[in-house]
Structure 1
Amino acid sequence: MSGGLQDKVVLVTGGSRGIGAAIARRFASLGSRVVVAYRSDREAAEKLAGDLVNAGGHCIAVQADIANPDDIRTLVASVVERFGRIDVLVNCAAVGPYRPLGQMDASFIRSILETNVMGIVLMTEEVLPHLASPGGRIINFSSALAFRPIPTSSVYSASKAAVVTLTHAFAKELGPKGITVNAVAPGVIETDLTTKILAERGEQILAMTPLARIGKPDDIAGIVTFLASPDAGWITGRTIIADGGVT
């Protein structure tokens, strides 16, 4: 269990389902005050927030599309109005459609880069004046595909490679303020978004994975809460590949 997170204010984008929801649950279980930011699945976000509150936690759900600068400003203002500050920003929201060369157009490329790259930059910009300093934590989400792209994943993989670079660069800028910036790069994790991938390539993925199982959202949530904790205070600018040791 990661200590030192009691009463910390944690903003999780993409927090309504899958990995984001597991992260929200883990922080709430450690006594943090959690904001679940969601783009469209209001029902899932509000149910999650309600479940955490009913279990004795502190959680609110706020709608925001991080590809929209106005939404980002409203989201951060709502968090600060409710809790007064932000201690941890988890940039989990992302989009990941795949298309092969010959089938991509500008709107397809733009939709990925606006959320996965611009969204992280603008979220960080907006949160920074309200982020605890020293002691603030930013945890971004890359992907194992940033290091091992597959056919049709080119633009998504490139966007996640950009997250690795942003994480390293932001860590250098914010280090003097006592703020750490790290990233997690998951492999295939069992969520509703990977059902098709696992149906098509599940046996192949298992064969390449030394731990001989598919990752679960809680596997990633534990890494995130560690990076947010005081125990990780000497780690910054790093991207942790969390894929069960895929070779």
Structure 2
Amino acid sequence: MPSSATLHFSDRVAIVTGAGSGIGHATTVALAEAGARVLGVGRRKEALEQTARAHSNIEILPLDICAEGAAATVVTAAVERWGRLDLLVNNAGVTAVMPLAETDRSVITNLFELNVTAPSLLAHAALPHLRKSSGSIVNVSSTYGHRPMPGGAHYAATKSAMEQLTRSWALELAPEGIRVNAVAPGPTKTDVLAAAGLPDHTVDEMYTFERERIPTGRLGDPREVADWILRIADPRGTHVTGQVLTVDGGLELI
């Protein structure tokens, strides 16, 4: 696989949500290293500042993308700063371990608000600018967007929704020259489980369980997921749209 530096993002402008850690951090840095000017968005200012220190092409915007008017604020910030928008990476998301017997309305609402509604509003706000640039949207799904997840059905449902949005938007926007794809990571070593409020020992147990099921015998690395996001967003890939690329070490085959 070529490194991000060999890809053609020079003078392109990208927005990456959830840029303070994990896959979002890795994607923001990789895009900047590939020549893009990147607006990294997230709720944690200190984490975003750490991302920004990785490359001079990165600007940050601490913000809750679920807040009223957030989508317009994010897109306006990028366009006012650099005059255009070429790529939206909808990476921010949250997970939840919630068996049916423990169903909580607020958890369901929060999952769909961050994982489905906010990315939809960001895509809507970005659309006029992506039309001008023949740009691209990459949604970050999950291997559990297309395979069952006992004890986490509602999280899986949000990712399944994102995959269907990806396919439908791809068909809708192809005549306008806008590509829409998704990357679906499997279990990846990030802080998403800890951010969901799970204690460290539970996180370790879950990672061990997942690692033992993955055919390649290891968890994913955020940097390799970022590499695939860049590959599918590469402006030269004008004939690739509506795809969901799974990066999970073969887990979806089981």
Is the structural similarity TM-score above 0.5?
Answer: yes
Equivalences for residues 1-247 of structure 1 within 5 A: 1=3, 2-39=6-43, 41-53=44-56, 58-133=57-132, 135-194=134-193, 196=200, 199-246=204-251, 247=254
Asked if the contact 2:94/2:192 (under 8 Å) is kept, the reply is no
Query: Please, what TM-score do these two structures have when normalized by structure 1?
Result: 0.92
For structure 1, which runs of at least 5 residues remain unmatched after alignment?
A: none
Shift of 1:51: 2.8
The letter of the residue matching 2:174 is G
Asked if the contact 2:32/2:55 (under 8 Å) is kept, the reply is yes
Distance 1:202 1:162, change over 3 A: same
Asked if the contact 1:85/1:132 (under 8 Å) is kept, the reply is no
Asked if the contact 1:215/1:243 (under 8 Å) is kept, the reply is yes
For structure 2, which runs of at least 5 residues remain unmatched after alignment?
A: 195-199
Shift of 1:132: 4.9
* Cα RMSD after superposing both structures: 1.6
**Could you list the per-position Cα deviations for residues 91-146 of structure 1 after superposition, in whole angstroms to 9, with x for gaps in the alignment?**
00111122112322322211111111111110100011112545311000111112
The letter of the residue matching 2:54 is D
Asked if the contact 2:20/2:51 (under 8 Å) is kept, the reply is yes
The letter of the residue matching 2:22 is G
**Could you list the per-position Cα deviations for residues 129-188 of structure 1 after superposition, in whole angstroms to 9, with x for gaps in the alignment?**
112545311000111112223222111100000001000000011101111100011100
**Could you list the per-position Cα deviations for residues 180-205 of structure 1 after superposition, in whole angstroms to 9, with x for gaps in the alignment?**
10001110001123465651133433
The letter of the residue matching 2:41 is A
Query: Please, what TM-score do these two structures have when normalized by structure 2?
Result: 0.90
The letter of the residue matching 1:185 is A
Shift of 1:231: 3.7
